[in-house]
Amino acid sequence: MKKTLSILCILAMILQLLAVLPAAAAEQEEEENKVPTVTVSTVKAKPGDKGVEVTVSIENNPGLIALMMRVAYSKDLTLTGIEKGDALSGSSMLPPEKPYPNPSYLLWDSMEADAVDGVLVTLTFDVSKKAAGVCAVTVSCDPVNSFDGYGDECMLTVVNGGILTGKAAESGDAPVLTVTAVEAKPGDKGVEVTVSLGNNPGIKNLKLNAVYSSGLTLTGITQGKVLPDTAMKAPKKPYEGPATLSWEAKKADAEDGVLVTLTFDVSKKASGACAVAVSCDPDGGGELMPTVVGGGITIPEPAVTSIRITSSRKTLRVGQEFTLRANVQPEGVKVTWSSDSDAVSVDSVTGRITAKKAGKAVITAAAGGKTAACTVTVNGRS
């Protein structure tokens, strides 16, 4: 009888694992398809107003461990305050010294990844008495100094905003700048990434800043079909660091299409995401508040052949912590961790588990469509 019960218990555990593993793989795919998005709020104010707050928030946080943000704003705004938000709460934020320059650079740095969504920073502005219309606030994230707990650069979508003054009002769809996402192999040369403009409101002047991964070398800049009658101003070769591009037209152009094509050589040591980030400077004359869809060049990970957790079973007391390890073949592939019960929480990046209350949980490691599981039993308080 005891032997029969033991066999039934083992069968029940196997069935439980078989039920959990496909769901975990689907959950990993869903998580990977979520787009990390940084949003600058849009608020209304009157000319001459002081202490107007604009927030910068993050959604679908990929688990950032470091972030460098460039903040540019209208000449009709004076930045008077920078306050750290609740997102990336475990990291320190290093702001520039007062008086704040335009653009200003903000740096978050932490020892551990943080996947919490929320407000990254609150920016406080004084509005000029001569302000009229849109006073844009635009942000971009430097790929070289912005990455998640795996060390991967993040291709962020940015929804820009700012302060609307006078009779200004939000109307129609926001302009959209899209950086293409393409795949390449380490060592590839002449890889093209386009920057396109959609929902063009009829631009005349534009100033664009492009920042790219340290795994990329910019080798070419080709003007697109938007503002075709205007010569694009670009830096001279050899291109070093961020590239600033500008257009100054005699008449407005409302055509959608490619603004510029950037050509890159990929480092032989490149891996994962090699991001390309762009932003519009308000002082370029357009005062655009565009949504920027991040892109760049991705080095595909090799196909996973196997994954195994070093511990298939673990027993903890309430309050105890333990870090699970996964062996993946080939090595170096990103692993995502999840728990099927609130009895045990798990850090999705590091695999560190915390026993929250008595009960059981199946902790799943997923990589490249393959999964492995560990059953954790939590006993009463120690």
Pair 161, 44 in one domain: yes
Answer whether residue 179 is part of any domain: yes
First-to-last C-alpha distance (Å) of the chain: 34
128 and 89 share a domain?
A: yes
Confidence of residue 26 (pLDDT cuts 50, 70, 90): very low
Question: Which CATH number covers residue 320?
Answer: 2.60.40.1080
230/249 same-domain check = yes
In terms of residue numbers, what domain contains 132?
36-167
Mean pLDDT throughout 1-16? 52
Global pTM value: 0.73
Looking at the structure, tell me whether residues 267 and 364 fall in a common domain: no
Element of type H or E holding 275: strand 272-280
Would 12 be classed as within a structural domain?
no
Alpha carbons 278 and 208: distance in angstroms, whole number: 7
Q: What is the pLDDT of residue 28?
A: 45
CATH number for 263: 2.60.40.680
Last residue of a domain, one of 148, 167, 186: 167
Look at residue 327 in the predicted model and tell me its pLDDT.
92
Mean pLDDT across 196-219: 90
Query: What pLDDT, on the 0 to 100 scale, is given for residue 249?
Result: 81
If asked whether residues 77 and 126 sit together in one domain, one would say yes
Confidence of residue 12 (pLDDT cuts 50, 70, 90): low
Q: What is the DSSP letter of 144?
A: G
Judging by DSSP bridges, how do beta strands 243-253 and 157-159 pair with one another?
unpaired
In a domain, 22, yes or no: no
Asked if residue 178 and residue 159 are part of one domain, the reply reads no
In a domain, residue 69? The reply is yes
The domain boundary, picked from 107, 135, 167, lies at 167
- Lowest model confidence (mean pLDDT) among 62-71, 168-177, 363-372: 168-177
pLDDT tens for each residue of 369-380: 899 999 999 997
User: What is the rounded distance in angstroms from the CA atom of residue 368 to the CA atom of residue 363?
Assistant: 17
**338-344, Cβ contacts within 8 angstroms, sequence gap of 24 or more:** 338/24, 338/27, 338/28, 338/363, 338/364, 338/366, 339/363, 339/364, 340/20, 340/23, 340/364, 343/376, 343/378, 344/316, 344/376, 344/378
pLDDT band at 301 (very low <50, low <70, confident <90, very high): confident
Quickly count: other Cβ atoms within 10 Å of residue 348's Cβ.
Answer: 20
Q: Indicate if 162 and 43 belong to the same structural domain.
A: yes
Same-domain status, 197 and 232: yes
103 pLDDT above the threshold of 50: yes
Tally of residues, the chain: 382
Structure-block tokens of residue 156: 């962020």
The answer to whether residue 132 sits within a structural domain is yes
Q: How high is the pLDDT of residue 25?
A: 46
The model's pLDDT over 340-365, given as tens digits with 9 standing for 90+, comes to 999 999 988 889 999 999 999 999 99
Average model confidence (pLDDT) across the chain: 86
Q: Does 27 map to a domain? A: no
Q: Does the pLDDT at position 137 exceed 80?
A: yes
Domain boundary among 250, 274, 300: 300
Given this model, what pLDDT does residue 7 score? 54
46 and 163 share one domain: yes
Cα 349 to chain centroid distance, Å, stands at: 15
Same domain (yes/no): 163, 40: yes
Residue whose tokens read 């406080």 = 124
pLDDT (tens digit, 9 = 90+) per residue, 250-272? 888 888 999 999 999 999 988 88
**What b/e string do you get for 1-19 counting C-beta neighbours within 10 Å, with b at 16 or more?**
eeeeeeeeeeeeeeeebee
Report how far residue 178's alpha carbon sits from residue 290's, in angstroms, rounded to the nearest whole number.
10
Q: Please check the confidence at residue 220 and state whether its pLDDT lies above 90.
A: yes
Distance CA 160, CA 174 (A): 9
Whether residue 198 is found in the same domain as residue 282: yes
Residue 195 counted as domain residue: yes
Residue range 3-16: mean pLDDT, rounded: 52
Question: For 189-196, what is the mean pLDDT?
Answer: 97
Which of 10-19, 29-38, 83-92, 285-294 is modeled with the greatest confidence?
A: 83-92
Cβ-contact 103, 282 below 8 angstroms = no
Task: Tell me how far apart the alpha carbons of residues 218 and 211 are, in angstroms, rounded to a whole number.
Answer: 10
Supply angle C-alpha 218, 223, 227, rounded to 5: 145
Residue 205 lies in a domain: yes
Are the CB atoms for 325 and 92 separated by under 8 Å? no
Q: How many structural domains compose the chain? A: 3
Residue 226 token pair: 């938007």
In sequence order, the β-bridge partners of residue 298 are 183, 273
**Does 190 share its domain with 231?**
yes
